[in-house]
Structure 1
Amino acid sequence: MFKNNIKIAWRSLKKQPFFTFLNTFGLAIGIASAILIALFIYDELSYDKMFADAERIYRIDSDIKFGGAEMRSAEAAAPMAATMQRDFPQVESTIRFRDRGSLLLRKTDTETNAKELRVTFVDSTFFDFFGIKLLVGDKRTALNEPNTLVLTKTAAEKHFGVQNALGQSMLLNNTDTYTVTGVIDDLPKNSFLREHSVFMAMSGYADSRDPNWGSNNYFTFVKLIPSANVQEFERPLNGIVDDYIFPWAQQYFPGMTKESFIASGNYVNFYTKPLTDIHLYSHRDTEMSANSSIQNVYILSFIGLFLIVLASVNFMNLSTAQSLRRAKEVGVRKTLGSKKIDLIRQFLMESGLISFISLVLALILAILVLPLFNDLSGKSIAIPYSSPFFWALLLMGTVLLGLFSGSYPAFFLSRFVPVKTLKGDTQGDVGGGTIRNALVVFQFAISVFLIVGTIVVYQQLQFIQNKDLGFTKDQIVLVDDVFAVGDQTQAFKEEITNLSQVESSTLSFFFPTPSSRSNSSFFPEGSRSQENALQMQTWYVDEDYVPTMNMELIAGRNFNNDFATDTTAVIVNEATLKVLGVSPQEALGMRISQEAESETPQFNTIIGVVKNFHYESLRENIASLGLFFSGTSGMLAVKMNPGDFASTLANIEGIWNKFAPGQPFSYNFMDDSFNSTYDAEQRLGKIFVVFTILSILIACLGLFGLAAFNAQKRTKEIGVRKVLGATVGQITFRLTTDFLKMVGIAILISMPIGWFAMNKWLEDFSYRIEIGWWVFVLAALLAVGVAILTVGYQSIKAAVVNPVKSLRTE
């Protein structure tokens, strides 16, 4: 019977190639999309699970409010790790990371540097803590001594190969000599350490031994013992504030009590974050690597599910629509003794066959578009051909899809009454197509929802791109590692500024692009109490910083090299004035100091107020910031005149090679660095566009098939109407209107859902768009336009047929 059912199913599918194609192609698109989305989600959910005892590892996070600044940090103070190891019996081991940023690295006997983008200090427990094996070297001693480092395989191969690495001496930033004591394999792409290539011994970093509880710069992880309960561990964690942080702070604020600290609106709270949750659930002010969001996983999960359901709905719709054609077949089969269960089995066999054909096509499609999908999503996903679980899941999913898609048509067709169907009376069985109409409404409701989502994401990204940020980011190139020119920094800057293609340039470590920063506490003159503390970003800049970045001074003046007193001057932003409680004019001449504990503190005088500018993501509110006048050599920002940027960069590189021969010329455009903050949103926007188009395509395939069937079913009616004088336009309008009613209902259903969902998504941004009414109008017009184009073709095709031919149709 199985063989016979297969044979009959194959013949039935060949008999109606047009509808078979629509079903198969629609399902193939849905399955291929689901495969790609499932691989993406699996990759997202797999982050950091490869480390030993990952389920027992937690990061210590902190929420701090002090001096008017609120910080949600993923870092802790230097003494935190040792304190927990000593005071908490649940702690098996601890580890700290202190991000170093990028550096130049070379063998001591060479002149040419290579740039390593992500470098960190790390405790010697690194290897045992995460279960990381060394390709060469001894994990027991590799990071014990100061001035030692461990390289990843790729970093080692840049310089001397893996096997020759041990004992090599390397120069960091042309100044510090380190010895290579080990090489590890490249860290997985789905780990929080994926971008790091150099690990330096924490024992050589003096700040790591400072008992300073006020500076939170260390990513601190704990591994709990197997029997530990994380809730019981976290509960007394905040006791560290009473036992250690307040006694330390009272050295600088003798009159401070816990009650006065809390009464001022300040707080310090510690939390644990599971290692395996960091990538999707952590959005702290500082992170070791860029994280994604569980929201994106949910959104893509729903999109993948929707696409499969859309394709399945197509199958149901087209199969039930074809029921009139197969009504007599059902009647004959029942008359010859076929039972209802036999008919259900036969029709499910047909849907299963279509599902398996669609699976083959879907795999081919997925393989072909996977490189494009990786480029779109920023992943390196591969189809796991060798995984039995993958194939089992795929086959099981296909079987379930076949059963789900074919269930309603099978039960629907098998209930036909033989006497009626053999007489040609099937209208009662087929009914008014209520379920088919409901399925079409469902399809277009999803499509309209995705259209709304795509427009809102696009609008938010455009808002970010075009918002007045308070500074100029266009036509500015950032030249890295200027310290490599040694004591010729000013000469290097002047020679570049003198280029005809360059408008101005400025030296600083700090720019409004993604980078590692920290706050410092300041106190107005005459006050040393914690109630009046000002928590503020400290950026060191030169006299050309404000004009080059095109920032607006709303009071006071810029730095001036001719004024010796400017070495102790500061320019603050508007957010600082809000904390100080003064106006821009009142702020001028005020003096602030970091040295609250000193009897003779050094003061910085406010000489200017700059208009607020967005130096963090638009997800964050603008906080206090001070620009301090100081000669620095971190990066050179070059503002270029409009024209041939390639020629300008070539000239800048030529000057670089003159001042820093053998050093890598590294640069990036400021607008690119700024945009990288929103990589996740940009990728989400592109993914929305692609899968919205696919959902509309699938919905249109079904609508196209239903329109063709509807026109075919009403052939005689159309002929009669034409004989009685109906025009082609009137007939087309009548055939099209029936479907537009369903699209209209879908629009009404999807609009409030789309508004609610996208408003929730926008809540992540402190600065965001308002969803305008026109978004929904545009989405509705697009849906109606697509429906008209899809249905209109079949309607016009039916309306222009000769009525004589229509009336002869059986």
Structure 2
Amino acid sequence: MFKNYLKIAWRSLKKQPFFTFLNTFGLAIGMTGGLLISLYIYDELSFDKMFADADRIYRIDTDVKFGGAEIAATESAAPMAAAMQRDFSQVESTVRLRDRGSFLIRKSGTETNTKELRGAFADSTFFDFFGLKLLVGNSKAALTEPNTLVLTKTAAEKHFGVKNALGQQMLLNNTDTYTVTGVIDDLPKNSLLREHSIFLAMAGYADSREANWGSMNYYTFVKLIPNVNSTDFNEPLQGMFERYMIPWVQNLFPGMTAESFAASGNYWQHKIMPLTDIHLYSNRQSEISANSSIQNVYILSFIALFLILLATVNFMNLSTAHSLKRAKEVGIRKTLGSNRSDLIRQFLTESGLIAFISLLFALILAIIVLPLFNDLSGKTIAIPYANPLFWLLVVFATIILGFFSGSYPAFFMSRFMPVKVLKGSGQNTVGGGKIRNSLVVFQFAISVFLIVSTLVVFQQLKYIQGKDLGFAKNQIVLINDTYAAGSQVQAFKDEVKQLGQVEQASLSDYLPTPSARSNSSLFREGAMEQENAIQMQVWEVDHDYINTLIMKLVAGRDFNPKFVADSTAVIINEATLPILGVKAEEALGIRITGDLDLEDKTFYTIIGVVKNFHYESLRENIGALGLFLDNSTGTLAVKLKPGDFSNTLANIEGIWNKIAPGQPFSYRFMDDSFNTTYEAEQNLGRIFMVFTFLSILIACLGLFGLAAFNAQKRTKEIGVRKVLGASVAQISYRLTTDFLKMVGIAILISLPIGWFVMNKWLQDFSYRIEIPWWIFALAAVLAIGIAILTVSYQSIRAAVVNPVKSLRTE
């Protein structure tokens, strides 16, 4: 019987190729979008789950309010791990990581360095803690000795291959010699350690052995014993502050207690963050790698659901609209003895067949567009062809989709009364007009909502790009790793400044784009109590820093190489003034220090106040910051004159190769570096744009089919109107107006929802746009314009038909 259903279904589909194409193509587009987004979401949800005992691993986070600043840190003090292992029976093991950024590295005895982008100091327990197997070497002994390191497979192959790695001597940053004691496989792309390629023994890092509870520089992970309730662990964790932090602080502030600290409005709290939640739920300072957001997962989930629903609605709409053509077929079948259940099974078989044909096209489309989707999303997703569970889920989802898409048309058409349809009566109600209209409204409501969302995302990105950041980011090139020039780094800067296309240059590791950060507590002279602390960013710069980045001084002066006393001078930003309790001019001459525990303190005199500039993402408020003269030689920022940059960059590279032969030359433009901060938003905007287009395309396919059906259904009416003198424009207008009413209702429903949802999204930014009225107007105009273009073709086509032919039709 099922074989008979399939035969009849195939014949029925071949008889109406236009209808079959619209349904198949619409479902295929929806299924393609749903498949790609599902793979994306699966990748996002799988982050860090590959590590051994991942469900029992937690990171220790620290929330601090002190010195006028609120800090949500991912790092803890150096002694935290040992203290937790000692004090808590619930802790099975711990491990620390100390991120060290990029390294220049080469095999001893060679001259040419290569760059490893991310490296970290790690405790010797690192590999067993995360369940990482070494390709060569012993995981228990690999990082136990000072000056030893472990490389990833790719890093090892650059220098000497995996098999020959053990025992090799390597020079880091041209100064420190390390011995290779192991090689691990490359870390998965869906892990928080994905960018790291080199791990150094923590045993050789002196700071890691200091009992300094006030410095938060270590990512500290704990593995709880099985069956421990993590929520019960957070409460005793708070006792670490009074047990360890207060005694350490009392060396600096003898009279301070936990009560007096809290009475000053400050706090210092620890909490645990599940390892598997970090990627989607953590948005704190100094994340070990760039995280996403569960909000984006929800948004993309809704987009995937919308696409599937749009394609399903399309199918229902077109099927019910074409039910008039099949009304007599149903009547004859019922007259010949078919019962309603047989008809339902027949129509469901047709919808299932369309669903599986659509699946075939969807898989082909997904394979074709997957590279583009990976570019849009910043992922490296692949279709898991060898995974039986993937195919089982795809087939199951297709069956459900086919059943859901065909259920309403099947139950609708099987309800026709043979007497009525065979007599030709009741034809005006057979088409299910109210349901069709509701489904068209639903389709366009989703499309308009996505149009609004896309416009808002791009307007926020445009606002970010155009906002006055307080510094110049255009025409500035950043030369990386200039410390490799050693004692010649200043000579390199001086020669670069002599180039005709160079306006100015500055040496500093600290930049208002992703770069080094250093937070410290300073105190005003004469106010050395803890309640008077100033928590601020401490940036080491040179004399040319402000001029190179074109920052604006609102009071005082810039650093001057003629003034020897500027070695103990500081320039603060405007955000520091409220903490000091003074205005810009009043701040000049104030002295501050961070040397609480020294007899001979070094005081820094405020000589200038720089206008606030955004050194963090626009999601964050601007905090206190101080610029100090110091020897920071990691990056050379070069301000270029307008023109062709390629020759200037070639000249800079030539100077570099002369001064630092064998050292890698690399650069990046500051505006590109700035844009990486908002990569997640840019990806989201592009994904919105693509899937908005797909949703509109699906909606238009349905509208196009309905317009064709509506014109065909009203053929005689059109003929009569033309005979009575109606013009083509009048008939086209009448046919088009019915659909525009539905689009208008969709616009009225979707615009308030779009405003509410996107306002929620914008709340993640401290600096954001107010959604302008024209976005809603543009979305409405686009929806109406698209509907008119879609419907007008069929309307005009029907209107120009010879009325003689129209009146002859049955």
Q: What is the TM-score normalised by the length of structure 1?
A: 0.99
Q: Which moved more, 1:605-614 or 1:726-735?
A: 726-735
User: 1:632, CA displacement in angstroms?
Assistant: 2.4
> Which residue is 1:596 aligned to?
596
Once residues 243 and 200 of structure 2 are traced to their aligned partners in structure 1, the CA distance between those partners, rounded to angstroms, is: 31
Equivalences for residues 66-215 of structure 1 within 5 A = 66-215=66-215
1:276 is matched with 276
Which amino acid is 1:14 matched to? Answer: K
Report the AA paired with residue 547 of structure 1.
Answer: N
- Alpha carbon RMSD of aligned pairs, Å? 0.8
Q: Are the counterparts in 1 of residues 523 and 592 from structure 2 also a CA contact under 8 Å? A: yes
Shift in Å, 1:219: 0.5
Match of 1:221?
221
Q: Which residue of 1 aligns with 2:445?
A: 445
Q: Which moved more, 1:138-147 or 1:702-711?
A: 138-147
Aligned residue number for residue 726 of structure 1: 726
Aligned equivalents of 1:568, 1:491: Cα separation in 2:
24
Q: How does 1:258-407 map to 2 (within 5 A)?
A: 258-407=258-407
Segments of structure 1 that go 5 or more residues without pairing to the other structure are: none
2:646 is matched with 646
Separation (CA, whole Å) in 1 of partners of 2:662 and 2:598: 46
Equivalent pair of 2:509/2:515 in contact (CA under 8 Å): no
User: 1:254 & 1:606 partners in 2: Cα distance?
Assistant: 28
CA contact (8 A) 2:518 2:539 kept: no
Please state if 1:775 is matched with 2:775. Answer: yes
What is the CA distance between 1:631 and its match in structure 2? Answer: 2.7
For 2:700 and 2:276, the matched residues in 1 are separated by 41
State the one-letter code of the partner of 1:386: A
Aligned residue pairs, count? 810
Paired position in structure 2 for 1:753: 753
Asked if structure 1 preserves the Cα contact closer than 8 Å seen for 2:324 and 2:431, the reply is no
Find the counterpart in structure 2 of residue 27 from structure 1. 27
SS in 1 for 2:102: strand
Q: Does 1:461 align with 2:461?
A: yes
Between the aligned partners of 1:222 and 1:632, the Cα distance in structure 2 is: 35
Q: Deviations over 1:624-659 (max 9, x none)?
A: 000001232111001111111111110000000000
Higher alpha-carbon deviation: 699-708 or 135-144: 135-144
Give secondary structure in 1 for the equivalent of 2:385: coil
Residue 240 (structure 1) aligned with residue 209 (structure 2): no
1:540 corresponds to: 540
2:49 maps to 49
Task: Give 1:260 deviation, angstroms.
Answer: 2.1
Instruction: Please state whether the residue corresponding to 1:119 is helix, strand or coil.
Output: strand
Contact 1:256 1:529 (8 Å CA) reproduced: no
Would you say 1:616 and 2:591 are equivalent positions? no
- Aligned counterparts of 1:732 and 1:51: Cα–Cα separation in 2: 64
SS at match of 2:213: coil
Q: Is the 8 A contact 2:421 2:427 kept in 1?
A: no
Q: Matched residues in 1 for 2:357 and 2:374: separation?
A: 26
Q: State the SS of the aligned residue for 1:770.
A: coil
Q: What code does the residue aligned with 1:370 have?
A: L
SS in 2 for 1:322: helix
Report if aligned partners of 1:535, 1:624 keep a CA contact under 8 Å in 2: yes
Aligned AA (1:18): F
Q: Report the AA paired with residue 708 of structure 1.
A: A
Counterpart of 2:795 in structure 1 is 795
Task: Report matched runs for 1:435-514 at 5 Å.
Answer: 435-514=435-514
Match status 1:3 vs 2:3: yes
Q: For 1:229-253, what per-residue CA distance to the aligned partner results, in whole angstroms no more than 9, with x for missing partners?
A: 1112111101001111111111101
Given the two structures, how large is their TM-score scaled by the length of structure 2? 0.99
Q: Which moved more, 1:536-545 or 1:426-435?
A: 426-435
- What residue in structure 2 maps to residue 565 of structure 1? 565
2:384 alignment partner, SS class = coil
Residue 483 of structure 1, CA deviation: 1.3
Q: Separation in 2 of the partners of 1:232 and 1:689?
A: 45
Q: Counterparts of 1:630 and 1:217 in 2: how far apart (Å)?
A: 21
* Alignment gaps of 5+ in structure 2: none
Residue 690 (structure 1) aligned with residue 700 (structure 2): no
Moved more, 552-561 or 596-605: 596-605
CA distance in 1, matches of 2:581, 2:159: 55
Residues 253 and 597 in structure 1, CA contact (< 8 A), matched pair in contact too: no
| CA positional deviation for 1:287 | 0.5
Confirm or deny: 8 A CA contact 1:477 1:667 kept in the other structure.
Answer: yes
8 Å CA contact 1:327–1:426 kept in 2: the answer is: no
The answer as to whether partners of 2:505 and 2:637 remain within 8 angstroms in 1 is yes
How far does the alpha carbon of each residue in 1:484-509 deviate from its partner, in whole angstroms, 9 at most, with x for none?
11111221111000000111100111
Deviations 1:147-166 (CA, angstroms, capped at 9, x unpaired): 10000011011111111111
- C-alpha distance in structure 2 between counterparts of 1:603 and 1:580, whole Å: 16
> How far off its partner does 1:259 sit?
2.2
For 2:783, the aligned partner's letter is A
Over residues 60-91 of structure 1, what are the superposed CA-to-partner deviations in whole Å (9 max), with x where a residue is unaligned? 11110100011111100101100100000000
> In structure 1, what is the Cα distance between the partners aligned to 2:365 and 2:298?
24
1:104 maps to a residue whose letter is L
Cα separation, 2, equivalents of 1:352 and 1:138: 56
The one-letter code matched in structure 1 to 2:122 is V
Amino acid paired to 2:560: N
Sequence identity, in percent? Answer: 74
Deviation at 1:600, TM superposition (A): 3.3
CA contact (8 A) 2:320 2:432 kept: no
Query: What SS is found at the alignment partner of 2:63?
Result: strand
Give the aligned residue type for 2:439. L
SS in 2 for 1:331: helix
Aligned match of 2:606: 606
In structure 2, give the amino acid aligned to 1:416: F
Whether the aligned pair in 1 keeps the contact of 2:321 and 2:432 (CA below 8 Å) is no
SS of residue in 2 equivalent to 1:778: helix
Structure 2 residue 655 is the aligned partner of structure 1 residue 675 = no
CA distance in 1, matches of 2:89, 2:116: 38
What is the aligned partner in structure 1 of residue 426 from structure 2? 426
Q: Is the 8 A contact 2:508 2:540 kept in 1?
A: yes
2:252 corresponding residue in structure 1? 252
Which residue of structure 2 aligns with residue 38 of structure 1? 38
CA-to-aligned-CA distance 1:681-708 (integer Å, 9 cap, x gap)? 0000000000000000000000000000
The separation in 2 between residues aligned to 1:113 and 1:600, in whole angstroms, is: 42
Q: Secondary structure at the match of 2:326?
A: helix
C-alpha distance in 2 between matches for 1:168 and 1:544: 42
Kindly state the Cα deviation for residue 135 of structure 1 after the two structures are TM-superposed: 0.7
**One-letter amino acid of the structure 1 residue matched with residue 2 of structure 2:** F
In structure 2, what residue type is equivalent to 1:675? N
Give secondary structure in 1 for the equivalent of 2:678. Answer: helix
Query: Following the alignment from structure 1 to structure 2, what is the Cα–Cα distance between the partners of residues 628 and 566?
Result: 9
Cα-to-partner distance string for 1:6-46 (whole Å, 9 max, x where unaligned): 11111111111101000000000011111111111111111
Which amino acid in 2 is paired with 1:51?
F
Query: Helix, strand or coil for the counterpart of 1:196?
Result: coil
Does the Cα contact within 8 Å between 2:441 and 2:742 map onto a contact in 1?
yes
- Counterpart in the other structure of 2:740: 740
In 2, Cα distance between the equivalents of 1:260 and 1:724? Answer: 93
Does residue 230 (structure 1) correspond to residue 230 (structure 2)? The answer is yes
User: 2:701: which partner in 1?
Assistant: 701
Residue 432 of structure 1 deviates from its aligned partner by: 5.8
How far does the alpha carbon of each residue in 1:295-333 deviate from its partner, in whole angstroms, 9 at most, with x for none?
A: 111111111111011001011000000111101001100
CA distance in 2 between counterparts of 1:11 and 1:62 reads 67
